[in-house]
């Protein structure tokens, strides 16, 4: 039997668990009275640090591409890019890392801020990374048939390289695509329809104070433009949103009547906030709302080099200007609900404490490294008239563990308890089921892992089955222990 090593938990995971235990003391006492727990949903991801958000809307989901600040990073220790997706802006599925510095044979380090755009049924990921031959930053492009990858280097060499960073790509209504990037300058070049080559030479956008505001105190950089451009068009107006001033940065924007200008400075979107000296914008419309993505240092251990991505909903002013948007810990409201009667990936998470994710031998990813009391919150689960049972795909190399199903909070009402046997290995999968009672309406669901010491349960996916409870504890069909000892049924 292959035993999974029991690595030391990351500082981030321990820190989040510590923060969660503090939170329990202050938040969960009221939660015991009020079943709907008011709970932070920013940062979007808690089990790894994330940075440099780039959202993409495709086929009813928002895909979020980020960098990954390694634990204990003290100077942009970033080896890979990550992908997340959501159908409701609060429950985010972890798709892992389909692109890394190692994906580019010509690159040596630094998985910095990129963006993915879709065209002709393919997805193109433009990233800045260090070119080994020159030691300077260059822009690479990777391609995939799926928004979640796998992505492969489209060229085998940089698309363009001049030592500057932070590519953003915009495709105009006439089909012309533009690649913009830069720090300290702001460059653009016209991309060809193949999205992996360009016409003409890179050109500088004039950084005038009328176009990009006035910076004081740095004669080399007279305007506010610093880095991280994000270009898009709305209602005939072109927007460029960017990190301004340094350091600490804030987020500003300019508008223009065309994709190359002339630009007019429009002011601040997000003031300097949030314990990170950088910030980075990404804006999309999704299901009728507008969303602003950014990063800060809000997680335990967070800083300018251990950042995490958040999202806020906003509305444009009637004249097309963008209001001031502040960072919050509550984040964007949920769009719709989550259907518990179809397969849900265990790594679809609104909030968690203590868990990590890893590649699953059955494809995709699984939740793992769970210890006693660790939990996953899934927000706004539409139980309706209520389920009769819960089914999960699990693996474990230890016995006597269970997944508790709780409502409203990690210590909330128990509506089911599914025992998890020793399956013979952490990637040896079996399906377990248990009865459920008392889960009706729309509720926040907590999957809480309980058992002895050490790692307990890996979970790949789960779903509920609708209907009145049928297999009660103590009746034929499996012992209460096998089914996890379901404690009680609600009236
Ligand atoms: O994450 C590395 C760099 O920090 C990005 O490329 C910049 O936008 C800043 O966020």
Residue 64 — very low, low, confident or very high, per pLDDT cuts 50/70/90? very high
Q: What is the largest CA-CA distance in the chain?
A: 81
Q: Which residues of 315-348 are buried (b: 16+ CB within 10 A; e: fewer)?
A: eeeeeeebeebebeeebbebbebbebeeebbbbb
Taking 70 as the threshold, does the pLDDT of residue 117 lie above it?
yes
Contacts of 334 (CB under 8 A, 6+ apart): 88, 89, 90, 91, 379, 380
Ligand 1 centre from 296 Cα, in Å? 12
> What values do phi and psi take at 249, rounded to 5?
-80, 155
Q: Using the mean position of ligand 1's atoms as its centre, give its distance from the Cα of residue 213 in Å.
A: 21
Q: How confident is the model at residue 39 (pLDDT cuts 50, 70, 90)?
A: low
Indicate which residue's Cα is closest to atom 3 of ligand 1: 112
Phi, psi dihedral angles at 175 (to 5 degrees) = 90, -10
CA distances from 168 to 124, 227, 352 (A): 11, 11, 31
Alpha carbons 394 and 457: distance in angstroms, whole number: 7
Q: Report the alpha-carbon distance of residue 80 to residue 112 in Å, rounded.
A: 9
Q: pLDDT tens across 375-433, in order?
A: 999 999 999 999 999 999 999 999 999 999 999 999 999 999 999 999 999 999 999 99
- Average pLDDT score, the chain: 90
Q: How far, in Å, CA of 392 to CA of 413, rounded?
A: 20
Question: How remote is the CA of residue 479 from the centroid of ligand 1, in Å?
Answer: 55
230-252 pLDDT, tens digit per residue, is 999 999 999 999 999 999 999 99
Mutation to probe ligand 1, out of 82, 129, 163, 165 (largest number of atoms < 8 A from CB) = 165
Tell whether ligand 1 has an atom less than 6 A from the beta carbon of residue 165: yes
Which atom of ligand 1 lies nearest, measured to the CA of 51? Answer: 1
Going from the Cα of 52 to the center of ligand 1, the distance in angstroms, rounded, reads: 6
CA–CA dist 403, 447 (Å, integer):
6
User: Whose CA is closest to atom 9 on ligand 1?
Assistant: 278
Q: Is 280 in the pocket of ligand 1 (CB under 6 A)?
A: yes
Q: Which residue has the higher pLDDT, 46 or 17?
A: 46
Res 310 pLDDT > 50: yes
- β 387-396/137-144 pair status: unpaired
Between residues 219 and 2, the one the model is more confident about = 219
Nearest CA to ligand 1 atom 5: 113
Residues near 21 by Cβ (< 8 Å), separated by ≥ 6?
A: none
In this predicted structure, what is the pLDDT of residue 392?
98
Pick the catalytic residue from 41, 69, 226, 227. Answer: 226
For ligand 1, say whether the CB of 52 is within 6 Å of any of its atoms: yes
Residue 468: the pLDDT is 78
Distance 474 CA to ligand 1 centre (A): 58
Asked if pLDDT for residue 21 goes beyond 60, the answer is no
Indicate which residue's Cα is closest to atom 4 of ligand 1. Answer: 278
113 CB within 6 A, ligand 1? yes
Q: How far is the centre of ligand 1, averaged over its atoms, from the C-alpha of 86 (Å)?
A: 24
pLDDT tops 70 at residue 8: no
Catalytic residue among 41, 52, 166, 404: 52
- Nearest-atom index, ligand 1, CA of 52: 10
C-alpha to C-alpha distance for 43 and 41, rounded to whole angstroms: 6
Does ligand 1 come within 6 angstroms of the Cβ of 282?
Answer: no
Q: How far is the CA of 348 from the centre of ligand 1 (A)?
A: 26
> Do 291 and 89 meet the contact criterion of CB atoms below 8 Å apart?
yes
Which has more pLDDT, 240 or 37? 240
8 A C-beta contact, residue 369 and residue 353: no
Ligand 1 mean position to 168 CA, how many Å?
13
End-to-end Cα, the chain, rounded Å: 44
164 close to ligand 1 (CB < 6 Angstrom) = no
Is 270 a pocket residue for ligand 1 (Cβ < 6 Å)?
Answer: no
Q: How many other C-beta atoms can be found within 10 angstroms of the C-beta atom of residue 25?
A: 8
If pLDDT is split at 50, 70 and 90, which confidence band does 14 have? very low
Residue 52 annotated to the active site? yes
Probe residue for ligand 1, chosen from 50, 69, 112 as the CB with the greatest number of ligand atoms within 8 Å: 112
Q: Which atom belonging to ligand 1 lies closest to the Cα atom of 110?
A: 2
What are the backbone dihedrals phi and psi of residue 13, each rounded to the nearest 5 degrees, phi first?
Answer: -65, -45
Domains in the chain and their CATH numbers?
35-314 (2.115.10.20), 344-466 (2.60.120.260)
Over residues 208-230, the pLDDT tens digits come to: 999 999 999 999 999 999 999 99
Question: pLDDT per residue over 381-392, tens digit each?
Answer: 999 999 999 999
Q: Whose CA is closest to atom 2 on ligand 1?
A: 112
β-bridge partners, 383? none
Tell me, using a 6 A CB cutoff, whether residue 228 lines ligand 1. yes
Q: Once rounded to an integer, what is the mean pLDDT over residues 190-209? A: 98
Which residue's CA is minimally distant from atom 1 of ligand 1? 112
Looking at the chain, the whole-number percentage of residues with pLDDT higher than 70 is: 87
CB under 8 Å to 5, separation ≥6 — which residues? none
Work out the burial of residue 192: count CB atoms within 10 Å of its CB; fewer than 13 is exposed, 13-18 middle, 19 or more buried: exposed
Residue 128 alpha carbon, nearest atom of ligand 1: 6
pLDDT of residue 425: 98
Distance (Å) from CA 165 to ligand 1 centroid: 8
Nearest ligand 1 atom to alpha carbon 307: 1
Residue of minimum CA distance from atom 8 in ligand 1: 228
Specify the pLDDT at position 485.
Answer: 34
């Amino acid at each position: 039997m292959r035993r999974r090593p029991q690595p030391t938990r990351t500082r981030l995971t321990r820190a989040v668990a510590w923060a969660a235990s503090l939170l329990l003391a202050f938040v969960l006492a009221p939660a015991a009275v009020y079943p709907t727990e008011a709970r932070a949903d920013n940062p979007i991801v808690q089990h790894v640090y994330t940075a440099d958000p780039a959202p993409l809307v495709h086929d009813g989901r928002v895909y979020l591409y980020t960098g990954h600040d390694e634990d204990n990073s003290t100077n942009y220790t970033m080896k890979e890019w990550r992908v997340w997706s959501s159908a409701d802006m609060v429950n985010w599925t972890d798709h892992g890392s389909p692109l890394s510095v190692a994906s580019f044979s010509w690159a040596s380090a630094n998985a910095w801020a990129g963006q993915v755009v879709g065209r002709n049924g393919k997805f193109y990921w433009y990233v800045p990374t260090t070119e080994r031959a020159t030691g300077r930053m260059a822009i690479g492009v990777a391609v995939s048939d799926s928004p979640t990858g796998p992505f492969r280097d489209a060229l085998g060499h940089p698309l363009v390289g001049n030592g500057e960073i932070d590519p953003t790509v915009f495709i105009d209504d006439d089909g012309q695509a533009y690649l913009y990037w830069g720090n300290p300058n702001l460059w653009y070049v016209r991309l060809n329809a193949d999205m992996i080559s360009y016409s003409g030479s890179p050109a500088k956008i004039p950084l005038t104070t009328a176009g990009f505001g006035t910076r004081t105190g740095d004669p080399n950089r007279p305007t506010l433009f610093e880095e991280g451009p994000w270009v898009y068009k709305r209602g005939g107006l072109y927007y460029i949103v960017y990190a301004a001033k340094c350091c600490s940065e804030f987020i500003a924007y300019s508008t223009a009547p065309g994709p190359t200008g002339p630009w007019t400075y429009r002011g601040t979107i997000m003031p300097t906030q949030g314990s990170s000296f950088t910030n980075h914008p990404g804006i999309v419309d999704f299901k009728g709302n507008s969303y602003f993505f950014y990063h800060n240092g809000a997680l335990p251990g967070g800083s300018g080099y251990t950042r995490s991505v958040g999202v806020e909903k906003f509305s444009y002013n009637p004249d097309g200007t963008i209001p001031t948007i502040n960072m919050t810990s509550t984040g964007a409201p949920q769009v719709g609900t989550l259907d518990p009667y179809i397969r849900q990936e265990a790594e679809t998470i609104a909030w968690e404490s203590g868990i990590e994710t890893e590649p699953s031998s059955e494809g995709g990813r699984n939740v793992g490294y769970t210890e006693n009391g660790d939990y996953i919150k899934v927000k706004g689960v539409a139980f309706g008239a209520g389920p009769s049972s819960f089914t999960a795909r699990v693996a474990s190399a230890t016995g006597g563990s269970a997944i508790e199903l709780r409502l409203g909070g990690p210590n909330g009402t128990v509506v089911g308890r599914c025992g998890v046997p020793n399956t013979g290995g952490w990637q040896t999968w079996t399906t377990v089921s248990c009865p459920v009672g008392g889960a009706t309406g729309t509720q926040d669901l907590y999957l809480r892992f309980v058992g002895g010491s050490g790692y307990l349960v890996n979970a790949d996916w789960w779903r509920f089955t609708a209907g009145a409870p049928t297999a009660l504890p103590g009746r034929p069909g499996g012992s209460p222990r096998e089914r996890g000892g379901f404690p009680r049924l609600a009236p």
